[in-house]
Amino acid sequence: MDNDPFGICVDENKELKLPSLAHMAKEAVQTAAGIVGGVLSGDDVLASEEVSSARRLVCNGCEFFIHKDNRCSKCGCHMTAKTTIKSAKCPLDKWKE
């Protein structure tokens, strides 16, 4: 397996793989921090259905989306969950709220 400059593991057949556990843990902590920050400040934690749907559409068309697992090969997140979190960010900055 090779790593590209973005840290994505790619096997010999060019199948997208998840990033390292350390990278996924970092992404999870950042997402959790956004949730906690929202709760503490009294903001909504969940994105509107309109925003969540728009995010899912972007992910479904992204070249880094692993369709069979519904996960992002950049951050490793389960996108069904991540797209619903208001403070969550796309690692490629593709979500435009």
> Tens of pLDDT along 9-28?
444 446 899 999 999 999 99
Examine residue 55 and state whether it is found in any structural domain, yes or no. yes
Q: Alpha-carbon distance 91 to 58, whole Å?
A: 12
Examine residue 87 and state whether it is found in any structural domain, yes or no. no
Per the structure, how many domains does the chain have? 1
Q: What is the pLDDT of residues 40-71, one digit of tens each?
A: 999 999 999 999 999 999 999 999 999 999 99
Q: What counts of helices (H) and strands (E) characterise the chain?
A: 3, 4
Residue 79 has pLDDT above 70, yes or no: yes
Averaged confidence pLDDT in the chain? 88
Residue 1 has pLDDT above 50, yes or no: no
Q: Alpha-carbon distance 95 to 72, whole Å?
A: 13
Residue 6 has pLDDT above 60, yes or no: no
User: N- to C-terminal Cα distance for the chain?
Assistant: 35
Examine residue 94 and state whether it is found in any structural domain, yes or no. no
The pair of structure tokens assigned to 5 is: 């400059």
Examine residue 89 and state whether it is found in any structural domain, yes or no. no
Question: What confidence score (pLDDT) does residue 15 get?
Answer: 85
The pair of structure tokens assigned to 71 is: 């996960």
Q: Provide the residue range defining the domain that includes 19.
A: 2-82
Name the pTM for this structure. Answer: 0.79
> In a 10 Å sphere around its CB, with 0-12 CB exposed, 13-18 middle and 19+ buried, how is residue 41 labelled?
exposed
Examine residue 91 and state whether it is found in any structural domain, yes or no. no
Examine residue 95 and state whether it is found in any structural domain, yes or no. no
